[in-house]
Amino acid sequence: MKTIAQESQEIPINDHVQTDGTRWKIKEKLFLGLSKEEYKAQAMRNPVNWVLFIIFLVGLPLLATRYLGGLDTVTHSSNDYPWGLFLGFGLFGMVPLSASGFLLGTTVEIFGRKDFVPIERLALLNGLLGYFFAVIYLEVDLGMPWRLPYPMFVSLGPAAVLFLVAWHVATYLSVQIAEVAPSLFEWMGWLKAKRFIKSITIGLTIAGIILSTLHQGALGALFCYAPTKVHPLWLSTNFMWIHFFCSAIFAGLSMVIVVSTLCKYFMRWRCDERFLNAVDPLTVALGKGCAYALITYLVIKIVGIAHDNEWEYLLTDWGFYYTLELGLGALLPLILFTVGVKYGWPNVVRTAAVITVIGVVMNRLNTSLISFNWNLYQEIPRWQEIWITVTIFAVYFITYRFILYRLPILYEWKGEK
Amino acid sequence: MAKVTSGKTSSGIILVIASLVLFWVSAAFFGALHHLDWQVGELLRQYMVATGMIKPMHTLVDFYTHIKGIEYLICVAFFVAFPVFVKYINHEKRPAKVTA
């Protein structure tokens, strides 16, 4: 695509009208202005697509096996370990990384920081896709997707944290679809719909803040269901919700930094000058937010230990592992963010963001899988479970790339908007 | 000129004192580790016992007094540390370097 975009004047598409005055059809826009043969050829040339092909070649039959034969054909799930990788990584890991939507929405729409506009749509899309695929992971774990309305409408459980999480995720997903919709309407040329959504943006953003804040915390509170199963260092019944909420702040911001970096280096042809000029200063600015959230997170983690008087646990093997998680996943990126922001080094901030993303996923996996049943045997996921997890992540990647190639996320639409 | 000399002398004195303190702390730390057969965990445990972070508690009031005391100390330290951190991170305003 990079070469085609350099050689052609019409590609990438960023207007409803071609240079000769004719309007692009939706089908042409979907094929990025290329003929079917050209589109196929550019897809075949991309080595990433071959890797994805191999993942799907094994992953899709495994996924079919899961639905036809049941969860135990691909996982070790049991009453001891009901939450495997699908939820440990897919739900508990993906949701904090998707907090970017409400964070940047708030920054731009509520706090009026219009300097973050070039990266706002990317953050909103990151939030939407992260939540959507968290639900997909949940569905793969639960099975029987046709029964999804049951906990929502038919068999309500208003006293349960899971009920709260289900409703929050569902309503917040709808809010995020509405927040991302203006870029789709711009691309389609449906301006009436776009103006309607724009007129309710403030309401959507406020709804996003309320829903996201509550359910990020609720995901942490969910572990209070199993107070004797989760290791005491990872479980703090009083502070669990705020640990999860606070870590979601730097996780979401770090994810935007990581994704914008990937776009800058691997999808440069699709970015406009406004995005490319803004991405480095904005990376540093987002890094500052991460540093503030990280230092707060570290302190409330220590407060959590003090509140439950768990100092002795720190001297055990689990304690050293916990210290390692905090040291590598929170303290190291905090130092890097601080240095990167202080001296205006975007690449240092980017390194810190990558470590932070890994650290947050590590924390969620430690809480839901590794330190879970710490007094029992250790659950080792089957290779099929790992492969399916990677397969769904590959679908997430393809969907992300499909949208970024087309919709005005990394560039401004030049036609009527 | 005299001011510069005096500043250098003060820095020198501070450096010497800091070096002495560092030497003393290192000697105490490694001496204690040697005494405990190089077990870092045991040294930490003894430190926590000595500072009262680990101690037997017999009543709920004892427990709450203990945990709240430590929590308040952490919070007060953070109330001081956070503004200092914000000031530190915002101290030097340099434009972000634009990378290729």
B74 in A contact zone (CB under 8 Å): yes
Average pLDDT over residues A21-50: 87
CB < 8 Å to B75, chain A: 303
pTM, 2 dp: 0.88
* Residues A117-157 pLDDT 10s: 999 999 999 999 999 999 999 999 988 888 888 888 888 88
| Band (A14; pLDDT cuts 50, 70, 90) | confident
Question: How close is the nearest chain B Cα to the Cα of A347, in Å?
Answer: 8
pLDDT at res. A34: 84
* Residues A70-83 pLDDT 10s: 998 999 888 888 88
| Band (A17; pLDDT cuts 50, 70, 90) | confident
* Residues A240-299 pLDDT 10s: 999 999 999 999 999 999 999 999 999 998 998 999 999 999 999 999 999 999 999 999
Counting every residue, how long is chain B?
A: 100
ipTM of the complex as predicted: 0.83
Straight-line distance from the first to the last Cα atom of chain A, in angstroms, rounded to the nearest whole number: 26
CB < 8 Å to A347, chain B: 99
Considering only CB atoms, A280 lies closest to which of B53, B63, B96, namely B96
pLDDT at res. A336: 97
| Band (A25; pLDDT cuts 50, 70, 90) | confident
Least confident of A98-102, A148-152, A370-374, B4-8: B4-8
Question: How close is the nearest chain B Cα to the Cα of A306, in Å?
Answer: 6
- pLDDT higher than threshold 70 for residue A348: yes
A302 in B contact zone (CB under 8 Å): yes
CA gap A60, A398 in Å, rounded: 15
- pLDDT higher than threshold 90 for residue A190: no
A146 in B contact zone (CB under 8 Å): no
Contact flag B44-A302 (C-beta cutoff 8 Å): no
Residues contacting A285, CB < 8 A, separation 6+: A115, A116
Average pLDDT over residues B53-59: 87
3-state secondary structure of A98: coil
Q: By CB neighbour count within 10 A (0-12 exposed, 13-18 middle, 19+ buried), where does A112 fall?
A: exposed
| Band (B77; pLDDT cuts 50, 70, 90) | very high
* Domains of chain A, earliest start first: 1-32 (no CATH), 76-381 (1.20.1630.10)
| Chains A, B: CB pairs < 8 Å | 65
Considering only CB atoms, B85 lies closest to which of A295, A312, A343, namely A295
The chain-wide mean pLDDT, for chain B, equals 87
- pLDDT higher than threshold 80 for residue A394: yes
CA gap B68, A274 in Å, rounded: 51
Average pLDDT over residues B89-94: 73
Single out the residue of A265, A158, A164 nearest to residue A210, CA to CA: A164
